[in-house]
A and B are shown apart, each in its own frame.
Chain A
Amino acid sequence: MLELTSVFLFMLFGGMAVGCALSMIVQRNPLYSAISLVGVFVSLACLYVTLAAPFIAAVQVIVYAGAIMVLVVFVIMLLNVETEVRRPLRLRYLIPVAAGLSFVLIAQVFFMLFFVGPVSSAPSNVGLTASIGAGLFTEYILPFEITSVLILMAIVGAMTLARRAADIPLAARSADSSGAAGSPFTDPINDSRISGSRPGLTEIVGREMAARAIERLESRTGRGQGEET
């Protein structure tokens, strides 16, 4: 009975995961892909629960579904990424290559599974928050701390990238005001390049964000004219 239930759950969530994953790479619209991926994550979270790892399951939902993918969706919406344009493929040969490599990978794994066979295992109770916390803060304190440094680096890196984007209009503005034509930088306020083929939506967002960035920069530097950067 229980066996049947767990098999059923595995099939359900595993099937969902595979289905969503397939959907993710089949979909041409990145947003659909993203939502499919969220589906994979949630399915995997459910699998983790069946594997008696509730903490990881919850973190999976919070981090992957709740943070990373929200960011991705946010970016997709912000950039208004459209369906992949069908244009003459430059690297057409990659599709058969991918298929071949995928087949090899699958073959290898199942080769291993077939020959290694089942592993005896014991019922688990290690997935509780307390055991994870104990492991994380005793034996694995160093990886944990390194991870925190990594995250700090990521924060700084992301801020740097974002700030560079904010600097560009400033330079463009000063270049414009000095009459220099052909500036390599774009002015996101008057440039429609930032919006996609869907006019009127993200263009407004982009303009608003850029204008706010300029405003903030100017108020920080305390002058109306930006300097050459």
Chain B
Amino acid sequence: MNWNSPLVQAGLTMLGINIAFVVVLMIVAYTVLAERRILALIQGRLGPNRVGYGGVLQPFADLLKFILKEEVIPDQATKFFYLLAPIIAITAALMTIIVYPFGPTVNLPFFGPVKLVIAQFDIALLYVLGMTSVGVYGIMLAGWASNSKYSLMGGLRASAQMISYELSLGLSLVGVVLMSGTLDLYSVVELQTNRWEFSPVLNFFLQPLSWNIFLQPLGFIIYLISAIAETNRVPFDLPEAETELVAGFHTEYSALKFALFFMAEYVNMFTVSVLATTLFLGGWNGPGVATFPVLGVFYFLGKIIFFLFLYIWLRGTLPRFRFDQLMNFGWTFLLPAAILNIIVSATVAYFYY
């Protein structure tokens, strides 16, 4: 069998995409469970622990519940967009995952060396940003099409918030791009493998020093904050502020359509975590990856899990912003800070690269 024939490659890519989808969805499912359990821990409760051992089957029970619930479509809703919105949301969220490199080049039996990335191309980072920006349509359309004031308010808030913070998010990444000189995520990660030359032993232990986070601390902080806002998570969860807007843009959604929004949110959480890992925390890099490439996959997963935990942790501890505070913070602090970061990075890059 000729592995290099385009058809085979396409087929393999399809296979990889499907596997990735399944894996991501599984991770999302267990993130939900983890969130509930951890929140419960933080709040001194138990959380779901009855379905399966310690609640391991709880996500599937939830899924079953969503599937079996009644599909309610509001009478005054604009049906086409009402149905389209969740599809856009979940599609845009899922489409980014094909570009993330989740491991170094490994030697697989039968296949030989394989890059652990589904698609590697020149503009991967732009692709991610583009998909993220398309995702906002899902929320806006959902809010508008539901024909409900809570939905509309939530949708407007969400879209305003996402437009605003998308700017800071994009700009915070420019620093990394300047340092790396490429938009290809795989190259970005590879560049974080061995930035400094120490002695072999030190190289092993001090490998994290090569990560971009040490070159771009300000960029990382801005990215982190913007990413939380981008995913509408606490403390930026204005669009779905229960006390004000019932449930925001998806107030009128039920059953599987709600599940899609729900999943989209967690997929988004996952993708921004992956992006943070890839761009700032060295991706699959870590001590020992040079020797045992497979180790990289676990580093990668570990870092993602750290970020996911961070999200949950924040949700359990922080209060919510007010809307004007949110806007002020985004436009008057984050954006100037991101621009400052770009200026400093560009200057440094000009002189040292």
Q: Which residues of A contact B (CB under 8 A)?
A: 1-2, 31, 35, 38, 42, 54-55, 57-59, 61-62, 65-67, 70-71, 73-74, 77-78, 128-129, 200-202, 204-205, 212
| Contact between B155 and A77, CB atoms less than 8 A apart | yes
| Contact between A62 and B149, CB atoms less than 8 A apart | no
Q: Enumerate B134-159 residues with CB–CB distance to A below 8 Å.
A: 134, 136-137, 140-141, 143-144, 147, 149, 152-153, 155-156, 159
| Contact between A205 and B152, CB atoms less than 8 A apart | yes
| Contact between A201 and B149, CB atoms less than 8 A apart | yes
| Contact between B149 and A204, CB atoms less than 8 A apart | yes
Q: Which of B136, B149, B153 contacts A66 (CB 8 A)?
A: B136
| Set of chain A residues within 8 Å of B153, measured between Cβ atoms | 204-205
* Shortest CB distance B120–A (Å): 12
| Contact between B123 and A58, CB atoms less than 8 A apart | yes
| Contact between A65 and B134, CB atoms less than 8 A apart | yes
| Set of chain B residues within 8 Å of A65, measured between Cβ atoms | 130, 133-134
| Contact between B156 and A62, CB atoms less than 8 A apart | no
Interface string of B256-267 (1 = CB under 8 A from A): 000000000000
| Contact between B324 and A61, CB atoms less than 8 A apart | no
Complex-state Cα separation, A161 to B218, whole angstroms: 34
| Contact between A77 and B140, CB atoms less than 8 A apart | yes
Complex-state Cα separation, A205 to B152, whole angstroms: 9
Task: Check B62 for interface membership: any CB of A closer than 8 A.
Answer: no
Q: Which of A1, A2, A58, A128 contacts B130 (CB 8 A)?
A: A58
Closest to A38 in B: B137
| Contact between B152 and A201, CB atoms less than 8 A apart | yes
| Contact between B159 and A70, CB atoms less than 8 A apart | yes
The 6 A-B residue pairs whose C-beta atoms are closest, nearest first, are A66-B133, A58-B126, A61-B130, A62-B130, A58-B123, A54-B123
Q: Which of B81, B134, B144 contacts A61 (CB 8 A)?
A: B134
* Shortest CB distance A4–B (Å): 12
Residue among A62, A128, A212 with most chain B CB within 10 A: A62
| Contact between B140 and A74, CB atoms less than 8 A apart | yes
| Set of chain B residues within 8 Å of A78, measured between Cβ atoms | 156
| Set of chain A residues within 8 Å of B126, measured between Cβ atoms | 55, 58-59, 62, 129
Task: Check B163 for interface membership: any CB of A closer than 8 A.
Answer: yes
| Contact between B152 and A61, CB atoms less than 8 A apart | no
| Contact between B149 and A200, CB atoms less than 8 A apart | yes
- Chain B contributes a number of interface residues (CB within 8 A of A) equal to 33
| Contact between A66 and B159, CB atoms less than 8 A apart | no
Q: Enumerate B36-95 residues with CB–CB distance to A below 8 Å.
A: 81, 84
* Shortest CB distance B144–A (Å): 5
Interface string of B114-126 (1 = CB under 8 A from A): 0000000111001
| Set of chain A residues within 8 Å of B131, measured between Cβ atoms | 61
Task: Check B129 for interface membership: any CB of A closer than 8 A.
Answer: yes
| Set of chain B residues within 8 Å of A129, measured between Cβ atoms | 122-123, 126, 182-183
Closest to B147 in A: A201
> DSSP majority for the A interface?
helix
Q: Which of B122, B129, B141, B163 contacts A62 (CB 8 A)?
A: B129
Q: Enumerate B160-182 residues with CB–CB distance to A below 8 Å.
A: 160, 163, 166, 182
* Shortest CB distance A221–B (Å): 18
Residue among B121, B126, B166 with most chain A CB within 10 A: B126
13 additional contacts, CB 8 Å, given A58-B129, A77-B143, A129-B183?
A35-B141, A55-B122, A65-B130, A70-B133, A70-B136, A71-B163, A74-B140, A74-B156, A77-B155, A78-B156, A200-B149, A201-B152, A202-B152
Closest to B132 in A: A66
5 contacts between A and B (CB under 8 A): A38-B137, A65-B130, A70-B159, A73-B141, A204-B153
Residue among B81, B133, B182 with most chain A CB within 10 A: B133
Complex-state Cα separation, A65 to B131, whole angstroms: 10
Task: Check B30 for interface membership: any CB of A closer than 8 A.
Answer: no
| Set of chain B residues within 8 Å of A42, measured between Cβ atoms | 134
| Set of chain A residues within 8 Å of B130, measured between Cβ atoms | 58, 61-62, 65-66
* Shortest CB distance A29–B (Å): 8
Complex-state Cα separation, A66 to B84, whole angstroms: 17
| Set of chain B residues within 8 Å of A200, measured between Cβ atoms | 149
Q: Which of B123, B136, B156, B163 contacts A55 (CB 8 A)?
A: B123
* Shortest CB distance B78–A (Å): 8
Task: Check B313 for interface membership: any CB of A closer than 8 A.
Answer: no
| Set of chain B residues within 8 Å of A59, measured between Cβ atoms | 126
| Set of chain B residues within 8 Å of A38, measured between Cβ atoms | 137
| Contact between A128 and B122, CB atoms less than 8 A apart | yes
Q: With A58-B126, A70-B137, A200-B149 in contact, is A212–B155 under 8 Å at CB?
A: no
Closest to A2 in B: B6
Q: With A129-B123, A200-B149 in contact, is A205–B81 under 8 Å at CB?
A: no
Complex-state Cα separation, A37 to B147, whole angstroms: 22
Task: Check B309 for interface membership: any CB of A closer than 8 A.
Answer: no
* Shortest CB distance B327–A (Å): 10
* Shortest CB distance B153–A (Å): 7
Residue among B152, B153, B160, B182 with most chain A CB within 10 A: B152
Task: Check B311 for interface membership: any CB of A closer than 8 A.
Answer: no
